Structure 1
């Protein structure tokens, strides 16, 4: 029995998607160039451009190739239609809420930010989130199709709500970003997961975030493993090695060393980095204990250390890891700047493009 042939509607749909993605990559192409780029006949490219123009997704730019007088026919340049919409890339962090508008080409077309107090209050964070979303959408001059959010708190994978856990340094209560930004489609995940996904080329690793808070992302075959409730990698309460070899919760060691911000469990980064080598050795041993647990449970190919103080203490972390029964390579994150925003931005662009190519 011969396999069923794809329907004409399916073939046209796939061709149209290829045309849209080619224009996302090259910004403008003639129909002849589209045919070569995609590997289809020119008549097929002409028909696809006609369909997409009628749907308002592609437009004639008004630009023409040189032609006439023996140089062939004039070619018309086509591009994606203006105002196809943007995606919001948003981060919710202890320092504030920041938002960018990303267009289908991956360009940032608008930015906005709002500071928040320490400790954060849910009403203030909610207001800041709403305000930056409205501001960047208005500045972009295009409708927002969706929002991707990275939050410095655990995220319930089923509801997208932020989760309050004991000893978390950034407590905003059970914030519901999807409800605040309704009716937009909203994708929310923990900031450490987004930072891990931004790491180039890696597919099997553990990303250890060491900053004001403590976190870990497990990436297996290119996918973040989130667990039943989305709380995989919440390592603050993990038992590790403290001063004098005592068992201690990971987060508590910073209290014992007087390295917390006043009135909170947040780690005082400046005080930690300025502490003496003996303190760094104690912290390095504690981090190595956490790494040993991650290796035992997740079996990563390597450990990537990020965050605002983790990479700076690698010289204290690596020797302690080398004393552990099982070892894997430990290195600093390859990313500089804001890895969380990099991950959120990439996801926002990918989802926006998918949204455009599947538009009826």
Structure 2
């Protein structure tokens, strides 16, 4: 059945708005070429979207042509402000942007869970308030249109809420309600951090050419996001990708329903990688904080100095601690080999079940390891599985969660605002 005129107009308008979002300002002629619509149809939709306040003339094309230059149309970016949050166990980061993704303000604060739930929530909400004020979106508390939050843990697919998970701070769940109270007119939503990282890598990072892939998050904790045929898969309980609980060889026990110790997390979680780095003399002797796990891998890839270790064959360092050259040495290579062995165990299990064709190493570890780590994992995978799988290093690193949260907030706002014209 052919679409009704009003439905056809809605489809054409959304197509034009999507192109303006993705490619920036365009002329009516360029919209005609990109959409395949007739000249009168494009003229009608441009007039309709302009009258609705969704697009406006932002300049001229500057093309060589007879007569006046063609007008460039762009989305009215300041019709909505969006906020994106990356909520970790001990910190919160925020970005505030306009509708086309231009960052207007950002910030980050440490959060001390031992201070109590109320103090942690208040500190995080104050951060968002400051960023909104800096972006000019504070006002009466209702000018933030949409807030997207990325957090560790499971998201209930039925309610869209963060589930009460063992090992995660209880203030995470309270934060969502507190933000909704502070910005009552805003649309507040939460998504698993690894899922958001996969979305960001697909839209802006290394997986832009893939409709099917798995992102393996390697940082403070480990997790996986599964994208099949362009769709993010969450599972019946929202637990798709909880790979930290995967039983694997090389651990001292088995995981339990409330503790992933003994699972894959015990091999590739931050604490495990830091301990592995110590074994191979990679990084300073006091390397212990979870946040430096990416730095330990970066040191190995870049050939920065390793800790002195008797009998390890480390390269000499200058008096100021800098390596005489920046080429990885044998200890670095052995560390990367051992780390690749561990990562490949979990990747092989994912590949055997899903056959995604591509695995992206994300979090702090993947981008820090770059091609040096990704090629090692891929080589081991070829020996372990008959399924051809490309392994890529993520390009967005820790910023992927914020970027993914911003993308989801922007899409949600556009779904509402772009449906606004009277058809």
- Equivalent residue of 1:192, what SS? helix
What is the TM-score with the length of structure 1 in the denominator? 0.75
Tell me which moved more, 155-164 or 309-318: 309-318
SS of the equivalent of 1:150 reads strand
Extract unaligned runs of 5+ from structure 2.
138-142, 281-330
Partner residue in 2 for 1:333: 393
- Gaps spanning 5+ residues in structure 1: where? 261-265
Name 2:411's counterpart in structure 1.
350
CA distance in 2, matches of 1:309, 1:23: 35
Determine the structure 1 residue equivalent to 2:248.
240
C-alpha root-mean-square deviation of aligned residues, in Å? 4.1
Further displaced range: 23-32 or 221-230: 23-32
Structure with the higher strand share, 1 or 2: 1
C-alpha deviation, 1:92, in angstroms? 0.8
State the aligned residue count: 344
Partner of residue 286, structure 2:
none
SS in 1 for 2:84: strand
Contact 2:215 2:225 in 1 (8 A): yes
Pair 1:107 & 2:105 matched: no
The two structures have a TM-score, normalised by structure 2, of 0.66
1:245-260 matches, cutoff 5 A:
248-249=254-255, 251-252=261-262
- Between 147-156 and 14-23, the greater mean CA deviation after superposition: 14-23
2:212 — aligned with what? 204
Once the two structures are superposed, what CA deviation does each residue of 1:256-289 show, in whole Å capped at 9, x if it has no partner? 89x99xxxxx627644433327887776555443
* Distance verdict in 2 for CA 1:130–1:71, change over 3 Å: same
Larger % of helix: which?
Answer: 2
Write the deviation string for residues 206-257 of structure 1: whole angstroms up to 9, x where unpaired.
22222111211222112222111111111222211126xx654463379989
The CA distance in 1 between the partners of 2:147 and 2:253, in whole Å, is 42
> Which of 14, 17, 35 is matched with 2:14 structurally?
17
Q: Distance between the aligned counterparts of 2:18 and 2:26, measured in 1?
A: 12
- SS of the aligned residue for 1:56 comes to coil
Tell me the secondary structure at the aligned position of residue 364 of structure 2: coil
Q: Which residue of 1 aligns with 2:227?
A: 219
Which of 38, 45, 49 is the matching residue for 1:52?
A: 49
2:78 maps to 83
